[in-house]
Structure 1
Amino acid sequence: MTLALRLENLSKTFAVGKPLIGPPKAHVRAVRPLSLEVAQGETLGIVGESGCGKSTLARMLVGLIPPSTGTIEIEGKALDNADATAFGKLIQYVFQDPISSLNPRKSIRKILEVPLKRLHGMSASERETRIREIFDSVNLREEFLDRYPHEFSGGQAQRIGIARGLAANARILVLDEPVSALDVSVQAQVLNLLAALKAEYGLTYLFISHDLAVVEAVSDRVAVMYFGAVVEVGRADKVFSAPRHPYTNLLAGSAPVVGRPLTPPEAKGTELPDPLNPPPGCAFAARCPRASDICRTEDPALTKMGEDQFAACHHPLDP
């Protein structure tokens, strides 16, 4: 297996209430130390509740924010956050809201020219050829190049966002809720486009979403995050059909399915822990029906629990 991406002890801590002079009042660990490997050509789905650290992780991967600890390796090369060009050539971000991610004052042609100029130093004729190729690959007409972002529908704007990622010639795309703002029929078109582009260009995807059905359909493997940590990793079909971590089981059972009654809500007092005062031991213990004393004192490590399946749990579910 050839690795496209390797994360080693990657974490992010934010200072809270920092005065002009002196130390901050507190710190929030948005992402706790995690390690992951993603193979070339793979789609890794990343799921979890809002606030679990998915988007913070994604922003670290593309160099938008520096990690507090750990390393990011792309194709065996450790990346320095100060080297924005190296990040841009290898990994690109496709944003959740396609309209707001595009500069409203620039035409689509000008937007797509930026990575070709800054990252690859292409001449005007080379840029024009490359832009036409990219636009054709995302099934958009060439006449759209001289229009502005507000003139497009959400589906068209998302295709432009994908085209911008392809313009940098990156081999890894971080897709942050790429279809959540689109109508269901348009979602299918964009997902089919992403599958075709992956096959054509040999891309690797990190697919972040709240929609578990979409994640299961498009992902080879899934990483489940809770309170800034990865609590389960495995093949997409196994993670949702035979979860080993109780949180994954709760997440899968909470997803609406046509013809199935909604899961009753959890009891009161089972909200996410306070990030300013995290509990000792397993962060999910207060919500877990299997929790014991060890869960409230020792944080479980991510442990192999079957073929290609890992979970961080003292009392894992039976397969």
Structure 2
Amino acid sequence: MTALKVTDLSKTFPVGGGLFRAPKTAVRAVRPMSFEVAEGETLGIVGESGCGKSTLARMLVGLLEPTTGRIEIEGKPLDNADPAAFGKLIQYVFQDPVSSLNPRKTIRQIMEAPLKRLYGMDREERAARIREIFASVNLREDFLDRYPHEFSGGQAQRIGVARALAAAPRIIILDEPVSALDVSVQAQVLNLLADLKSEFNLTYLFISHDLAVVEAVSDRILVLYFGTVVEIGPAREVFKTPRHPYTKLLADSAPVVGRPLKAPEQKDSELPDPLNPPPGCAFVTRCPRATDRCRTAEPKLRPLGEHQLAACHHPLEG
């Protein structure tokens, strides 16, 4: 069963102008993209800063309204005019665990908010639900009357996960969920997320810069570059035999024990200008395989092999 289906989803932000003046130009943060996520799957989303990962995530949970496109969860289209529909189906775990929690509210008040607003539970129902969730994420009940600043990063992230679970969603978006944590705590949180996925039959979208973590926890990988999908496929295949040159660049840039660090690109390589995007492939100025065709025609996502898709005129050999 398909848990999430995205069709031609895009986001454009106006730039310049003012209160009584039209925008001078626009930035296409996310270009029209389509993909599906199966029920119970973990889809890893990777790419450099500015590639559109967080913008995509915020559209999926209703924090940003798409410029174009359609979002469906379990076959039902979501409407931005109905925030409760998003909240009951899809939730967000933020990158910074402490700053994502309201510092003026106790953990109990934070946990009760979705139970009140989305389900209208009374005090006894809320207390029972919170006890159940806290037990699932291995947190003590006496934490409920404390404030966010009283917790470590690992504890705060567990609270953030618990808050997401309170709404009983089908899908959880994890935006760099362990990047702000110590290495010793990262494994604990990742193991917890794996257990919760199995216990509650969850579907994950896992956003991260850490390719090793993404490969370890994901079933499939979606690679974003300059606001568009350039490759998608099974996690092991995407990093073992990348078909898009940008995916190979990411894999080669990741530090590996025993391999000396080196610059993966030439010194004169540069990112595209978002206010003046190139007419063809956005990766053309950084790609060693670029030809005249790449400079004039934008490549489309197409099947390469049995399971992988890539948007490249001259894909790498599988």
Which bracket does the TM-score occupy, shorter chain normalised? Answer: over 0.9
Cα distance in 1 for partners of 2:271, 2:219 equals 28
Deviations 1:1-43 (A, max 9, x none): x000000000000001131113101100000000010000000
Cα distance in 2 for partners of 1:87, 1:287 equals 38
Does the aligned pair in 2 maintain the 1:253–1:263 contact within 8 Å? no
Does the aligned pair in 1 maintain the 2:252–2:264 contact within 8 Å? no
Cα distance in 1 for partners of 2:276, 2:268 equals 15
Cα distance in 1 for partners of 2:236, 2:184 equals 24
Question: 2:229 is matched with which residue?
Answer: 230
Cα distance in 1 for partners of 2:264, 2:194 equals 35
Cα distance in 2 for partners of 1:38, 1:106 equals 35
> What does residue range 26-45 of structure 1 map to in structure 2 within 5 Å?
26-45=25-44
Deviations 1:138-189 (A, max 9, x none): 0011110111000000000000000000000001000000000001110000
Return 5+ residue gaps in structure 1 as ranges. none
Cα distance in 2 for partners of 1:8, 1:174 equals 18
Q: Which amino acid aligns with 1:248?
A: T
Percent of counterpart pairs with the same letter?
75
Question: 2:113 is matched with which residue?
Answer: 114
> What does residue range 190-269 of structure 1 map to in structure 2 within 5 Å?
190-269=189-268
Deviations 1:217-245 (A, max 9, x none): 00000000000000000000000000000
Return 5+ residue gaps in structure 2 as ranges. none
Cα distance in 2 for partners of 1:308, 1:146 equals 49
Cα distance in 2 for partners of 1:169, 1:145 equals 19
2:75 maps to 1:69: no
Deviations 1:76-115 (A, max 9, x none): 0000111100000000000000100100011000000000
Cα distance in 2 for partners of 1:155, 1:16 equals 38
Structure 1 residue 262: deviation in Å? 1.4
Q: Which amino acid aligns with 2:89?
A: L
Question: 1:9 is matched with which residue?
Answer: 8
Cα distance in 1 for partners of 2:64, 2:250 equals 28
Q: Which amino acid aligns with 1:49?
A: E
Question: 1:272 is matched with which residue?
Answer: 271
Structure 1 residue 207: deviation in Å? 0.1
Cα distance in 1 for partners of 2:160, 2:87 equals 14
Deviations 1:106-127 (A, max 9, x none): 1000000000000011111000
Question: 2:291 is matched with which residue?
Answer: 292
Cα distance in 1 for partners of 2:192, 2:71 equals 28
Cα distance in 2 for partners of 1:234, 1:84 equals 31
Cα distance in 1 for partners of 2:160, 2:284 equals 40
Structure 1 residue 265: deviation in Å? 4.4
2:144 maps to 1:145: yes
Aligned length: 318
Cα distance in 1 for partners of 2:270, 2:224 equals 15
Cα distance in 2 for partners of 1:110, 1:275 equals 41
Does the aligned pair in 1 maintain the 2:249–2:264 contact within 8 Å? no
Q: Which amino acid aligns with 1:138?
A: V
Deviations 1:189-211 (A, max 9, x none): 00000000000000000000000
Two-structure CA RMSD over aligned residues (Å): 0.6
Segments ≥4 residues shifted beyond 3 Å: none
Q: Which amino acid aligns with 1:153?
A: S
> What does residue range 13-28 of structure 1 map to in structure 2 within 5 Å?
13-28=12-27
> What does residue range 54-133 of structure 1 map to in structure 2 within 5 Å?
54-133=53-132
Does the aligned pair in 2 maintain the 1:246–1:288 contact within 8 Å? yes
Cα distance in 1 for partners of 2:249, 2:142 equals 48
Cα distance in 2 for partners of 1:138, 1:310 equals 36
Question: 1:52 is matched with which residue?
Answer: 51
Q: Secondary structure at the match of 2:195?
A: helix
Q: Which amino acid aligns with 1:316?
A: P
Structure 1 residue 264: deviation in Å? 2.1
Structure 1 residue 269: deviation in Å? 3.1
Does the aligned pair in 2 maintain the 1:3–1:76 contact within 8 Å? yes
Q: Which amino acid aligns with 1:233?
A: I
Cα distance in 2 for partners of 1:110, 1:269 equals 52
